C-alpha cells in the first residue's frame, strides 16, 4: 500500500486508486503560496509576445486565474482573456 503525505490511500497491490487525488494534492502543494487570503492567485507575469490590441509587450500583468494551463489576464480594454503561458515570463510569485 502507498499513501499520500496527507494519509490518503493512493495504491493497493500496485494498483493506483486515485490518480486525481495525487494530481490535485500536488497542485495544491505547489500553488498554496501563490494564493492570498481571499483565494485569489497572486502571480505577476510580463508579456513578451508582440503588441496586440489590449496587451502590450513588456507590461506586467496580474494573473486572475489559470485555466487549462493558460493565464487569464485583464487587458488594457478592461476585458479578461486567456493567453498561453509561453507569451509571458513570471516576474513575481
Residues 3 and 46 in one domain: no
Q: Which residues make beta-bridge pairs with 44?
A: 62, 92
Residue-by-residue pLDDT tens, the chain, 93 positions: 666 555 566 566 655 555 555 555 455 444 544 444 455 557 899 999 999 889 999 999 999 999 988 999 999 999 999 999 999 999 976
Residues 46 and 6 in one domain: no
pLDDT for res 29? 44
Alpha-carbon span 66 to 72, nearest angstrom? 6
Alpha-carbon span 29 to 25, nearest angstrom? 6
Task: Tell me the pTM.
Answer: 0.56
The CATH number linked to 48 is 2.30.30.40
Domain that holds residue 63: 35-93
Amino acid at each position: 500500500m502507498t499513501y499520500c503525505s496527507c494519509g490518503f490511500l493512493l495504491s493497493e497491490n500496485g494498483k493506483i486508486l486515485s490518480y486525481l487525488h495525487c494530481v490535485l494534492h500536488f497542485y495544491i502543494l505547489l500553488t498554496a503560496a501563490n494564493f492570498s487570503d481571499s483565494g485569489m492567485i497572486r502571480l505577476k507575469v510580463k508579456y513578451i509576445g508582440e503588441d496586440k490590441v489590449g496587451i502590450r509587450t513588456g507590461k506586467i500583468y496580474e494573473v486572475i486565474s489559470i485555466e487549462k494551463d493558460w493565464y487569464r489576464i485583464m487587458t488594457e480594454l478592461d476585458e479578461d482573456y486567456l493567453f498561453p503561458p509561453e507569451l509571458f515570463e513570471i516576474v513575481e510569485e
